[in-house]
Structure 1
Amino acid sequence: MKKIRTPQEGAGAVLSVRSTTASNTMPQTPPEGVLSGFSATAAQFIAASQSAATKRAYASDLKHFFANGGSVPASSAVLAEYLARCAEKLSVATLERRVTAIHKAHLEKNLESPARSETVKRVMQGIRRTLGTKQRQVQPMAKDDLLAALVMIDRQKMTIKAARDRALLLVGFASAMRRSELVAVQVEHLTYLSNGVEIFLPSSKTDQEAQGRTVFIPQANSQRCPVRALAHWLEVSEIREGFVFRAVSRHDRVARHGLSAQSVALVVKASVARAGGDRSKVSGHSLRAGYCTSAAEKGLQPWQIREQTGHKSDVALATYIRPIGRRRLPSLL
């Protein structure tokens, strides 16, 4: 079967800088400092230099900065005080991203960035030394957790929603895709083979230049086969084209639009909660972490796992292999 590769969505707009009285909508107009004097074609390519997810994150960061008394341009003293006030509430990783968003907002206006000042650098260094840089890690949804969740899904009265949730969890685990990749899969990206299914990913978080890659999901000789679960979902939902994973209404009807990345997290949390687990300890990343952890416990080499996950290095992969199996190690004493 020939894979049909859908074109990328149109390039989004570069972040524009709003004042504290700006509306709550996401910035749409590129700042004049970036696009002035360029043709429409050049402006489009400049706007496409960042992914939509990055633009949304930076827009959210700037909105928070403005809501807390910030502005562009901002002095180093204002930025330093903002970071100090937020240090007790936000993670170090979030603060670092806020600094980056504010820094880029100044550069886009051809302004001197306060993030380059020694004052801001020392404040961030003090925050790291005081609070540490360890990021919160959700629990992986390992095989046993997945099986328990599937049992509870099958007991749902909404049969179509149950078919979707079952396919979403199994495909999400077996493919080890990111949430954004999973919800972006379209019927045209699927190629069924005799021993499984190939899913073409036109782009991803680490593939900003859209070279694309293919993920293979093998068939399983059990009722928990992700390939059969996917085919069953597409059959009962009567989806023939477009997004594979879609919203399902309370009346068990399939929507036309695809799921959001956050919806994956909600499905995972609900499935874990129904099985008696703690929903606060899992997220959409739990499926990807569950595959990586389970594969490592089965003895797969890092390069083999990276072929499936798309990680560029063993260092990046290591953050997804969670130490749930350490308690099972035998004593050496």
Structure 2
Amino acid sequence: MTKISAESTGTATVRKSDTATIGNQPPKPPQSVLDGFSAMADRFMEAAQSEASKRAYDSDIRMLAASGITIPATAAEVIEYLAQFAGKLAVATLERRLISLHKAHLENSFKSPTVHITVKRTMQGIRRTLGARQKHVRPMVKDDLLEAMVMIDRQKPVKAARDRALLLVGFASAMRRSELVAIQVGHLTWLSSGIEIFLPHSKTDQERQGRTVFIPFANGDRCPVSALTQWLDVAEIKEGFVFRAVSRHDRVARHGLSAQSVALLVKSSVARVGGDADKVSGHSLRAGYCTQAAMTGLQPWQIREQTGHKSDVTLAKYIRPVARRSIPTLL
């Protein structure tokens, strides 16, 4: 028996013993995909799935392989897997593993066991027993941001300028952390009223139509546009990535930050003011904008214009209660 391949391609191998012999004909192996496409066609098919989705799929394939799940799997095997890891893994993780297993079967021309009624009932029982609510990080609203600014200014000047700009722009733009670190100088358009940032693509923009985010000027030293200008001037960045690594000697690197760096910055800024870093992440900036905007009375459609959410239902998940009185301005 051959287990699911854990190679980075995410393509699963199959159990050779499951190929059937019809009459006197030799067994015909299942055909997962057609062969012989041109290099251009292969590139287009590869581009149909985002890099983040591919990484998640590959990770699930490796985890399933480590647990002994083979292709083709039976409904009984899948049910036992769910029962074994229910409570150990998040409900959302189990659901994603089922999706990956389903895709692996379809790619190898096998019937997916995940559509079996008993598998669906097992998953439904897990949701009812353990709950399917996802863990939500705490949003960074205006008060949190102002507290963080005080401690950030106590760092070395270049790193302080970078961190100030990253937090303020991250909040005011409501971007995902992957979008934030992907900003390049060529994406910026300076206006008399603020700045426009062009996003070539994002998580929900798989066809790369792009969209533009506008950030207006704000009063005082909490203005994200002024903070961004100061960072670019101090770091002497004229082209390439806007947000970059800064060494302990306060020197600016040529390469851009990773998405994980945003999460680490948010956590460290919260920890400096005595907060619980485990309750925040890079997502706290985006959730903070949505929450603060709702507190100030902006309508859902106005918030979605900034965040890029496709529906009010999805947006509602980002608006989270905080133990504060309503605040009149975003920044």
Common topology (TM > 0.5): yes
- Using the alignment, how far apart are the partners of 1:30 and 1:190 within structure 2? 43
Match of 2:9 in 1: 27
Aligned partner of 1:240 in structure 2 is 238
Q: Is contact 1:35–1:43 with CA below 8 Å preserved after alignment?
A: no
1:263 match: secondary structure:
helix
Matched, 1:193 2:196: no
Q: In structure 2, how many angstroms separate the alpha carbons of the residues matched to 1:190 and 1:303?
A: 24
Deviations 1:229-278 (A, max 9, x none): 11111122222211111222222222222111111111100000001100
Give SS of 2:214's match: strand
What is the correspondence of 1:83-162 to structure 2 with a 5 Å cutoff? Answer: 83-156=82-155, 158-162=156-160
Kindly report the root-mean-square deviation, in angstroms, between the aligned alpha carbons of the 2 structures: 2.0
What's 1:176 paired with? 174
Distance, in Å, in 2 between the alignment partners of 1:249 and 1:34 is 47
Q: Any unmatched runs of 5+ in structure 1?
A: 1-17
Q: Distance in 1 between matches of 2:79 and 2:255?
A: 42
User: Could you tell me which residue of structure 1 aligns to residue 23 of structure 2?
Assistant: none
Alignment of 1:45-60 (within 5 A): 45-60=44-59
Deviation at 1:28, TM superposition (A): 7.3
Aligned to 1:308: 306
User: Does the alignment pair 1:319 with 2:307?
Assistant: no
User: Structure 1 residue 33: deviation in Å?
Assistant: 2.3
Aligned length: 308
Q: What residue ranges of structure 2 are gaps of 5+ in the alignment?
A: 14-30, 327-331
Cα deviation code 1:43-66 (max 9, x no counterpart): 111111111111111111111111
- Matching residue of 1:284: 282
Contact 1:289 1:321 in 2 (8 A): yes
Compared with structure 1, are the counterparts of its residues 100 and 36 closer, same or farther at alpha carbon in structure 2 (3 Å cutoff)? same
In the TM superposition, what is the alpha-carbon distance from 1:41 to its structure 2 partner?
A: 1.6
Q: Distance in 2 between matches of 1:21 and 1:108?
A: 13
| Structure-2 residue corresponding to 1:212 | 210
Q: SS at the partner of 2:220?
A: coil
2:86 counterpart letter in structure 1 = A
Distance 1:21 1:113, change over 3 A: closer
Aligned residue for 1:39?
38
Q: Which amino acid aligns with 1:313?
A: S
**Contact 2:152–2:160 (Cα < 8 Å) also in 1:** yes
Residues 265-315 of structure 1: CA deviation (Å, up to 9, x unaligned): 111000000011000110111001111111111111111111100111111
Larger radius of gyration: 2
Deviation digits for residues 103-134 of structure 1, max 9, x if unmatched?
A: 11221222221212222212111101111111
The 3-state SS of whatever aligns with 1:210 is coil
Three-state SS of the structure 2 residue aligned to 1:223 is helix
**Preserved contact between residue 163 and residue 232 of structure 1 (Cα < 8 Å):** yes
TM-score, length basis structure 2? 0.88
Shift of 1:216: 0.2
Greater Cα offset, 136-145 or 158-167: 158-167
Distance across 2 between alignment mates of 1:188 and 1:278: 37
Report how far residue 328 of structure 1 moved: 4.8
Deviations 1:18-48 (A, max 9, x none): 946746xx33789982352322222111111
List 4+ stretches of structure 1 deviating above 6 A.
28-32
Residues 1:262 and 2:260 are matched in the alignment: yes
CA distance in 1, matches of 2:113, 2:246: 46
Normalization by structure 1: what TM-score?
A: 0.87
